């Protein structure tokens, strides 16, 4: 919903922050944490997205531009968001945010990399929200390395 100002009304930046982008964009151009087989692995290189959520507000978390480079052709991987609302750093055992995205490795290495855009919306309540990205191999025998420049951010809906 856009902010509409009346003549003479002042709009402060603090008010605008509750609409659209919340918190800071987390970004990297570095390769991420290599998965360890079927163990769900947090991409610690990418880091943690942190933002302050308001009560009764819905937010969408986005991961744009990140790819996966597989060690074995034909493997499938799951990309997930895990989050906390108590200020602690999320782990692979933290609450799953909505759903996962499945990625198929058509070949081996960076020549077969495709980006894995992932989005999920939720209403966490009033809290300090922290979100991480995890990757798990769901079939096959290899590992995957998150690669490529990306942006990881939340927006108020």
User: Shortest CA distance to 29 belongs to which of 11, 47, 8?
Assistant: 47
Q: Is residue 8 pLDDT above 60, yes or no?
A: no
Question: CA 15 to CA 102: how far, in whole Å?
Answer: 37
> How would residue 120 be classed by pLDDT, with cut points 50, 70 and 90?
very high
The pLDDT assigned to 67 comes to 86
User: For residue 34, how many other CB atoms are within 10 A of its CB?
Assistant: 15
Token output for 103:
């990625």
Fold that domain 18-156 belongs to in CATH: Jelly Rolls (2.60.120)
Task: Read off the pLDDT of residues 57-79 as tens digits, 9 standing for 90 and up.
Answer: 999 999 998 888 899 999 999 99
> What Cα–Cα distance (Å) separates residue 65 from each residue in 43, 72, 119, 150?
14, 22, 12, 4
Query: 152 versus 114: which is more confidently predicted?
Result: 152
> How would residue 2 be classed by pLDDT, with cut points 50, 70 and 90?
very low
The pLDDT assigned to 110 comes to 64
> How would residue 104 be classed by pLDDT, with cut points 50, 70 and 90?
confident
Token output for 14:
């603090």
Of 13-27, 100-114, 117-131, the one with minimum mean pLDDT is 13-27
The pLDDT assigned to 102 comes to 87
Of 17-21, 40-44, 45-49, 56-60, the one with minimum mean pLDDT is 17-21
At CA 110, angle to CA 73 and CA 132, rounded to 5?
Answer: 95
Phi, psi of 115 (to 5 degrees): -70, 155
> What Cα–Cα distance (Å) separates residue 55 from each residue in 41, 78, 129, 131, 134?
30, 30, 12, 18, 26
User: pTM higher than 0.75 for the full model?
Assistant: yes
The pLDDT assigned to 134 comes to 95
Residue with tokens 């999920």: 120
């Amino acid at each position: 919903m856009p902010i509409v100002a009346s003549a003479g009304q002042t709009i402060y930046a603090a008010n605008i922050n509750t609409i659209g982008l919340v918190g800071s964009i987390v970004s990297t151009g570095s390769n991420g944490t290599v998965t360890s087989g079927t163990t769900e692995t947090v991409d610690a290189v990418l880091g943690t997205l942190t933002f302050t959520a308001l009560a009764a507000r819905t937010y969408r978390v986005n991961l744009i531009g990140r790819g996966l480079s597989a060690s074995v052709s034909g493997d499938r991987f799951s990309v997930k968001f895990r989050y906390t609302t108590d200020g602690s750093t999320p782990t692979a055992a933290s609450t799953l945010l909505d759903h996962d995205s499945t990625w198929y490795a058509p070949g081996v290495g960076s020549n077969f990399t495709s980006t894995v855009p992932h989005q999920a919306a939720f209403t966490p309540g009033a809290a300090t929200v922290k979100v991480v990205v995890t990757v798990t191999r769901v079939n096959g025998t290899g590992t995957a390395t998150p690669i490529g420049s990306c942006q990881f951010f939340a927006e108020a809906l």
